[in-house]
Amino acid sequence: CCVSSHSMELNDLRDFLRDAVIRLEDGGIFAVHRVVLSEHSAYFRTLFTTQLRIQENTDVYLPGVTSETMNLILDYAYTENVNITHENVCQLLMSADYLIVPGLLDLCCDFLRRVMATENCIGILRLVSAHFCSSFEAEARRFLMRNFVEISQQSDEFLELPPEELQALICSDELNVGTEEIVWESILRWINHDKENRKCHIAELLKRVRLGLMDRNFFLKRLMVHSYVTGNCESHLFITKVNNYVHDSGSITRKDGEVPIPDFVRPRMPHDILFVIGGWRGYSPTNVIETYDARADRWFQVEAVDPAGPRAFHGTAVIGFNIYVIGGHNGKDYLSSCRCFNAVEKTWCEVSPMNTPRCYLSVAVLEGVVYAMGGYDGIRRQRTAERYDYQKNQWSFIAPMNVRRFDASAATLNGKIYLVGGLNNGDCMNSAEVYDPKANQWTLIPAMNFRRSGLSCVGYHGHVYAIGGLDGRTRMSSGEKYNPTTGTWKLIPHMRRSRSKFGIEVVDDKIFAIGGFNRATTRPEVEYYDEKSNEWFEASNMIACRIALSACVVMGLPNASDYIRKTRDRLRGKRQDIFGHEN
């Protein structure tokens, strides 16, 4: 940290003209300037301007602060700089709170923010919760909620949580778990750490789990018969209540439509929000924006549409909380323009345009850089590609692709960009190539099993998935995945519906295929692929039918609740959508 010239001059006078003495419990004695301490500490300001102003005695007895910590506080007071370490940060933060030194408190929180990780975030949260660090406390709590899975499986701090803190944690709507089975496993890990003293808490802990959202086989064959449950009368009664409710939920939904639901089937809040932007609807492009809540299986229409107008056959890219909407067609012109939507502020702005108009382009984000590749400029199919540096607000060309491509799709995996399929002079292609940004070089890779244009690609679990599209004659429901290690393509199960020009994204560790065109018409249907079961499942339909849309995910959105349905705590729809799959 840089020290200002004013602070340097003040520090030079540190041993002169001192007018107060601070005495500590451990025997430490510090001569100080009242005005300097009063400038940084409300505690000393009050002390020096009231009690000592009318007394000749300028000695101050200060309990609860060690000499080592007082030295650091004085370093900050005289220089606005302090050496914070893992060893001293806790004591320094507590003393900064006690003496009301907000600037030093902020520096301690900055240090903790930099070192916060899954193995220490619980301790950090408990520390800042006990002191005046409300802003960072909220940040630390979000970190804990977002990373709960890893923390519950690996953190030693998690095992030492008191039962009431564990209950509060797993009860939260903000707990970031894709399945409630994870919460149950975390409870078992906590209890087994001290089984004899902790198994008595099973009933209260179970009541905080959304048991009605569990996979039915897991619920019936693993949880209901677990010895902790069967050996506890209160737990057994509660589990029976949940089971009866889930068993009757189908008839409740059919009879009553949307009805309020109990806590044990209320979906948790999503941390990642799927945005679906623009597309072609009817006979023209649209600027409709919808968001998807994967935890509640609900779609929500966003009011903050782009005032610059609609577009289709475009691409989207996410950096932080900003969504970049790139290229496409507005019903009249082939676009090079790029718009940026801030999902926190809900504002739109224009950013630098691409060097070339691109419709039917492919877009990817790699290491904070946006790439736009191929497409059609209204005259010719493109072989060029370019990258966008958001910090400089500048586009620059990269090496051209091996093949002209439009209506292709791109995905990132292991630090590289894969560009797959598309059209070249009207012919559907099965070729694919990979871009290495370090070498600025495109390299052809083995071809897919099928020709595909209007397909969608995504990087997922170490593979590049290429799904759907048009083979030149028929819209396809097939998909395949590429293994970069073996250089081979392998077929995956077919989607439930054939589709091309649709959106694709990964949410809650599942691949979602959204909208698009089937053999006859524009469709609103959505489905998702679960690699664990190697199956496709239906999800709720979009509100608006669209093709040539673009999907993206904003992760860790602090205002995620602004983009989900307010009636998500009501039961509706197919039973398997709410309570998981019954095998």
CATH number at residue 444: 2.120.10.80
DSSP string of 107-164, one letter each residue = HHHHHHHHH--TTTHHHHHHHHHTTT-HHHHHHHHHHHHHTHHHHHHH-HHHHT--HH
Return the residue matching tokens 């392998």: 490
Cβ proximity of 22 and 43 under 8 Å = no
Look at residue 265 and give its three-state secondary structure.
helix
Q: Return the DSSP state at 402.
A: S
Entry pTM: 0.87
Q: How many helices and strands (H and E) does the chain possess?
A: 18, 31
Among residues 61, 93, 115, the one where a domain terminates is: 115
- Is 261 found in the same domain as 303? no
- Is 284 found in the same domain as 187? no
Look at residue 383 and give its three-state secondary structure.
coil
Residue 207 sits in a domain whose CATH number is 1.25.40.420
Both tokens of 49, joined, read 């301007």
Tens digits of residue pLDDT in 296-350: 999 999 999 999 999 999 999 999 999 999 999 999 999 999 999 999 999 999 9
* Angle value at C-alpha 305, between 302 and 307, nearest 5 degrees: 165
Tell me the C-alpha distance between 583 and 581, whole Å: 6
Cβ proximity of 538 and 523 under 8 Å = no
pLDDT at 57: 60
pLDDT at 426: 81
What is the percent of the chain where pLDDT is above 90? 83
Structure confidence at residue 60 as a pLDDT band (50, 70, 90): confident
Return the residue matching tokens 């919460």: 183
Task: Tell me the angle at which helices 89-98 and 121-129 cross, rounded to the nearest 10 degrees.
Answer: 20
Q: Return the DSSP state at 522.
A: B
Sheet holding 550-555, edge to edge: 298-301, 284-293, 272-281, 550-555
Domain count, the chain: 3
- Is 457 found in the same domain as 328? yes
**Longest Cα–Cα distance in the chain:** 97
Among residues 204, 236, 265, the one where a domain terminates is: 265
State which residues form the domain around 473.
272-567
pLDDT at 583: 39
- Is 336 found in the same domain as 240? no
Could you tell me if residue 135 is inside a domain?
A: no
Q: What is the mean pLDDT of the chain?
A: 92
- Is 455 found in the same domain as 379? yes
Tens digits of residue pLDDT in 155-200: 999 999 999 999 999 999 999 999 999 999 999 999 999 999 999 9
Both tokens of 73, joined, read 């506080």
DSSP string of 29-82, one letter each residue = EEEE-HHHHHHH-HHHHHHHHTTGGG-S--EEEETT--HHHHHHHHHHHHHS--
Look at residue 358 and give its three-state secondary structure.
coil
Tens digits of residue pLDDT in 200-243: 999 999 999 999 999 999 999 999 999 999 999 999 999 999 99
- Is 288 found in the same domain as 227? no
Q: Which of 526, 517, 549 is nearest to 315 (CA)?
A: 549
Among residues 265, 281, 307, the one where a domain terminates is: 265
- Is 238 found in the same domain as 318? no
CA 419 to chain centre: 25
Could you tell me if residue 126 is inside a domain?
A: no
